[in-house]
A = this chain, B = another copy of it.
Amino acid sequence: MKEIRNKNQMNNKIRLHAPATVANLVCGFDVLGLALQEPYDIMEMELLAEPVVLIKHEDRFGLPTDPQHNVAGVVLLAMVEALHNTCGFKLTINKQILPGSGLGSSAASAAGAAAGANRLLNNRFTQHELVQFAMLGEKLATGVKHADNIAPALYGGVTLIRAIHPLDIVRLEPPPLHVSVVHPQIEVRTSDARQILKKQILLKDAIKQWGNVAGLVAGLLQKDYELIGRSLEDVIIEPVRSILIPGFDELKKNCLLAGALGGGISGSGPSVFMLSKEAGTALAVTKVMSELYERLQIPFYSYTTTINTEGIKFAVI
């Protein structure tokens, strides 16, 4: 093991928090995402001298422990192979981000594993390489090697995936924003959510959408909250996908009345998120979300949080 440690790297055990993420940021379908302060998965990792990957769960979800069938496992196996089998990893996962929530649960595991392993390896890989490793986890989870949630989980803040081939990720520093999230306990399969989208769209709708995407990026970078609010409009995906989420139109209307800048479906749902300028507004928005699902008698989880601008957070054990 000595060959992969140097004098500055004294710890071979770490603990980390891997954040939940919101992909498909309203108008930014498939390109914009953000990382949340809460919820997050807690992971503990240890560097091993043997080329093995050991996985243990400390939660109630019964996810696979065979690394070949675990989203974090396939990431670590690929990293071990890239290191010519000179080391291995032991990983303990305490998952707090509910699988199937639309909050990047699998991406948190994959990104957390990649970033944790890299920290144990004294940052041998670049951030870009970590994205590539972590995408293997998404491939296992969803069948598609996408970076929509991986990018914000690793980079923090708001991320733009400008292009996929070759992968071009741009980090955007957002102004302080408060985020309300509600996760109604219904199932929306990512594959179903993608299947109902039309393959062709009207050019005039696409122009509206890229006007809003440009406005959202400008609003974030120029810290113009009103522009952010005006740009949080999706004329293409939301009208189709929102039918999968009970009460969506009323939910959104009520959140805007409560003062939210705007928001929409998180990932492919069923979670819905809203952005607010002030903490108090975000609390009121979360209350409005909760009241709706109480009335609809649909069990739900809710969160009132902010944007995580760091990505994966480390703590030495």
Contacts and interface: CB of A to CB of B under 8 A. Distances in A.
B172 A210 contact: no
Interface stretch (A23-31, A34-42, A56-64): A23-31
Interface residues of A, number: 40
Given A198-B203, A236-B203, A218 B160 contact: yes
Given A199-B202, A217-B217, A27 B170 contact: no
A163 interface: yes
Contact of A214 (B32, B197, B236): B32
A311 B163 CA distance: 33
B199 A231 contact: no
Given A199-B202, A210-B209, A230-B168, A215 B30 contact: no
A271 B75 CA distance: 50
Contact of A31 (B30, B162, B214): B214
A222 interface: yes
A172 B198 CA distance: 33
Contacts of A204: 199
Q: Chain copies in the assembly?
A: 2
A200 interface: yes
Interface string A79-91: 0000000000000
Interface string A158-169: 001111000010
Contacts of A170: 214-215, 218, 227
Nearest to A165: B208
B200 A160 contact: no
A218 B216 CA distance: 10
Given A170-B227, A202-B200, A214 B215 contact: no
A160 B199 contact: no
A210 B208 contact: no
B215 A168 contact: yes
Interface in A297-313: none
Interface of A: 27-32, 160-163, 168, 170, 172, 197-204, 206-218, 221-222, 227, 230-231, 236
9 contacts: A27-B210, A31-B207, A31-B211, A162-B230, A170-B215, A170-B227, A198-B203, A206-B236, A221-B222
